[in-house]
Chains A and B, each alone.
Chain A
Amino acid sequence: MNDLSTKRRWLPPLVAALIAAVLQTAALGYMVESRASILRNGKEVLLKTVPVDPRDLLRGDYVILSYDISSLPPELFKGGLPKAPQEVTVFVRLAKQPDGFWSASEASFTELAPTDDSVVLQSQPFTYYPSSSEIPSPINVAYGIERFYVPEGEGRVLEQARNAEALSVNVRVNDAGRAQIRQIAVEGTPVYEEPLY
């Protein structure tokens, strides 16, 4: 462990503190604003879920959410599937169903053009491996809305709702296809509503 005071400094300590604190604060601020802006301006969609309840040591209690759009049947990919393993992002067009939930109507490995009555959701990047069998298997994707943090112990309530298949999630999606959870409801009654900040 070297002594800081005897090394030649590049910056006066107060300037160093200012630079580091400002940059780190700016990074956190950017993170917050990038999510808050989705909540503020995004288009709202309602999704069906199937949650489970593990525990993350560093981030406390959360419920893992899985959506019906997390598993995409290969027929949805009108542009075909890649032939070789590669790093991909999937774009999914969501359309409103008569029951109020939104479901996938089309999916693609390239960008989809937006339309008035649909929302395009972008998956997180992942490595796609073509299935070796004749019948292609469904493609599992994540959208970055697979976790919902709850105060310690409260995950049980949502878990029970999952067992009753009564959980729905309101999500806001921005123009770039990024999603942010806005509200979780059990049998249509909101239980968690997310503030902007």
Chain B
Amino acid sequence: MAGDIGEDEMISRRNLLRSLIAAPFLFLTGKYLFPPSEAKGVLVEVESDKIPEGGAMVFHDENIILVRADEEVIAFSLECTHLGCTVALNGEEFACPCHGSKFASDGSVIQGPATRSLDRYVTKITNNKIQVIESKKDV
């Protein structure tokens, strides 16, 4: 009996040693799998007067919509805050084709499953040009 227990211990000690040797290799390979991210800085740049009052402009590749309301231009992300599907502007509201969330034109949730308003990007206006910066605003 005593011999059996000793053997078990040996095996678990050997396994521990094996895992200790494998861990750094796994860690390094794991890091290899994550590619470096490319920082873009400015996502979109557009002349301010191209967006009429009450109108909007969609940038499909960047998944951004610029909406002008009350003189102010808001940059919404078109990524649904539920699970990241692309919402579409449908009249006065944004609707998600994947799970049915709906957002008002100010980004607030009208209908779930989303629970959070659409994300807004930081915007900068210089010389009549609007720049959308790659950082999200806290609302």
Answer whether A and B are interacting partners. Answer: no
